[in-house]
Amino acid sequence: MKKKFQSQKSFTLIEILTVVFLSVIIVAAGYYLYSMSYQSFKKSSASAEVTQNARIALERMTRDIRQAVEIVTVLPETPDSPVSELKFQDGHNLWPGGGGKIQYITYSLSDNNLHRKISHYAFYDVQDDWVLWSTIRGSGSHHEHPTEFFNPSDDVIKAEKITALHFWGENVININLTASDGPNTYHFETKVLGRNVQ
Amino acid sequence: MKKHSSFTLIEVLLAVFILEVGLLGIAGFYASSLKIIKTARNETIASNLASGILDEQLAISYDNLEIGQTEKNYTEDISSPFHDWTQKVEIRYVDANLNQQETETHMKKIVVTISWPEVNSQKSFQTASIKAEH
């Protein structure tokens, strides 16, 4: 009995220590890799999301401005005192067959969200008759301007994480946009020619 | 006692060393993925800058679009994040098949190229449009 017990093979202390040491190294390397993956994933997705929001914002705005019929907002010629809101007459669905309604689009920034609001102008007594914003009824001291109407559901957030938005320039409209995911801030800019502006 | 085979210390250390090199190699993927994301963002920025320059050119009347090539800094403003970016505008006569011509064809092709520096390389983005005389 005793003899059999003594003949059993076993690990030496050195062997055990070596195994433990190597295991620790491998587990530590594994953890390092995992933590690096996680950090990298977080950083990458945050960065990609900001870029995506900025891209969507610029694409939406340039698409609408290219079709615009009239730019209502008075834009400064230089970037020194830019405006952060742009209103213009929608150039889509304008011609007979497409609805033919006169409506306006306003892009603005609120709580780092880019808003696109659709509104129209009409006189109170004939609200179904949508008119140009600059329409004047009557004359002299009896003249009146139309009122702006909009449905709250027509004020939609088109992009998030936009921290600054500036418009400037006559004829060709400059758009400067800043997007941020917190630690990182990125600048975007473009210019748009309103091809249909009259 | 029966002799049994086992790994030598050298063999084990070598195996661990190779494993570590492999893991570090994988770690290198993350660095390159961040670099790729940065390039992607710069491409987005460049495409917006390029279409802006193109719209600026399209606003010019056909007659005033000068044939030739101009290359300059995107902006002279040092505080701009794009002060080390460059813009190139090339305007050429093209025929109905869009082949370049030396003489008046009543059609001009505008090619805008935006270039920017990245780590160890210079990247660029190009866009183009046609303006016809009317």
Q: What is the dihedral of CA B51, B121, A51, B112, to 10 degrees?
A: 0
CA distances from A95 to A49, A67, A127, A195 (A): 37, 12, 20, 16
User: A197, A177, A182, A183: which is closest to A56 by C-alpha?
Assistant: A177
Q: How far apart are CA B87 and CA B50, in angstroms?
A: 8
Q: What is the DSSP letter of A29?
A: H
Q: What is the pLDDT of residue A198?
A: 76
CB atoms A51 and B53 under 8 Å: no
Residue ranges of domains in chain B: 10-132
Task: Estimate the crossing angle of helix A13-67 against helix B9-58, to 10 degrees.
Answer: 10
- Ranked by mean pLDDT, the top range of A99-103, A110-114, B26-30 is A110-114
In this predicted structure, the answer to whether residue A67 has a pLDDT above a threshold of 60 is yes
CB atoms A171 and B59 under 8 Å: yes
Q: How far apart are CA A122 and CA B87, in angstroms?
A: 46
Distance to chain A for B121, nearest Cα, Å: 21
Under 8 Å between Cβ of A92 and A98: yes
Task: Walk along chain B (134 residues) and give the pLDDT tens digit of each residue.
Answer: 556 677 788 888 898 889 888 878 887 888 888 889 899 999 999 999 999 999 999 999 999 999 999 999 998 888 888 999 999 999 999 998 999 999 999 999 999 999 999 988 999 999 999 999 87
Asked if B60 reaches chain A (Cβ–Cβ under 8 Å), the answer is no
Q: How far apart are CA B55 and CA B105, in angstroms?
A: 22
Asked if B55 reaches chain A (Cβ–Cβ under 8 Å), the answer is yes
